[in-house]
Amino acid sequence: MIEADPYFLGYRQAEQDRLGRQAQELAADSNWLFDHVGVSAGWRVVEIGCGPQGCLGLLAGRVGATGRVVGVERSVEQVERARSFVADGHLANVEVLHGDGRRTGLPEQSFDFATARLVLVNVPQPEDLLQEMVRLVRPGGIVALHEAESSTQRCDPPHHAQTRLLELLNASAELDQIDRTIGSKVPRLMRNAGLTDIRVHPCVHAYPKGHGRRMLLLDFVENARTRMLRQQLIGDAELNELTALLKCHLEDPETLVLSSVFVQAWGLTPDQP
């Protein structure tokens, strides 16, 4: 039985639509990672927290007809969306399973590669999820993560509304034992999980006016609005004022908008003694 879903960003329809766009917006970064990992034909791959699309299509094309991709997702609605994506794309080498990424029930050491993208930053006990990924990969296989230091979004000129909203999101997540600064901690977590030969690639992006991720902080605030109000971190009127101020600032084409710092890291599972 799967426990109550702690995913920080929730499952509003707008969030589902955003995740669909995100798959395209982050495809270049993910392809860079998979190039350097060396994902290739015949590999057995598992993506934890694949959401409605994730990297399933990218991975399916790399492993080919002789490979296999398994997506694991705990939200029933997202599983249905992912399965529709797989069916519509005729991805015969992809299977999407409904399950908890910490306890997938999949056989031990049955994959060559395990990956997750922007999952640890949104859930409590990320170490448990990483340990499950290590368990699933054969000795000498690879585990790769793409995570964010989500407290590092910046704009110039700076604006107090962005600073305050980031503080609120971080405080709200912390109350539920979710660490939005986890990106920089990923290499350490991987070492603690027993992975070796860890490689790290940080990156930051600028989001010009019209880019789908320019208003990302406001999207996250709307996702967490009910949670923050319930936690009494802020009142509705003040939250509305802050979001309106930041929206106006971000709509100015002269405002520089920078992403969070993203950290991609990958390492080898230890060989058996």
Check: CB of residue 78 under 8 Å from CB of residue 99.
no
The residue ranges of the chain whose pLDDT is under 70 are 1-16, 19, 272-273
Q: What pLDDT was estimated at residue 35?
A: 98
Name the nearest CA neighbour of 5 among 56, 71, 73. Answer: 73
Amino acid in the structure at residue 8 = F
Name the nearest CA neighbour of 233 among 172, 177, 185. Answer: 172
Amino acid in the structure at residue 222 = E
Q: What pLDDT was estimated at residue 23?
A: 83
Q: What pLDDT was estimated at residue 271?
A: 82
Q: What pLDDT was estimated at residue 10?
A: 54
Q: What pLDDT was estimated at residue 7?
A: 58
Per residue in 35-87, pLDDT tens? Answer: 999 999 999 999 999 999 999 999 999 999 999 999 999 989 899 999 999 99
Q: What pLDDT was estimated at residue 24?
A: 87
Q: What pLDDT was estimated at residue 32?
A: 98
CATH topology of domain 13-150+178-206+259-268: Rossmann fold (3.40.50)
Task: For strands 44-48 and 256-258, give the pairing.
Answer: unpaired
- Cα–Cα distance measured from residue 187 to residue 195, given in angstroms and rounded to the nearest whole number: 9
Q: What pLDDT was estimated at residue 1?
A: 42
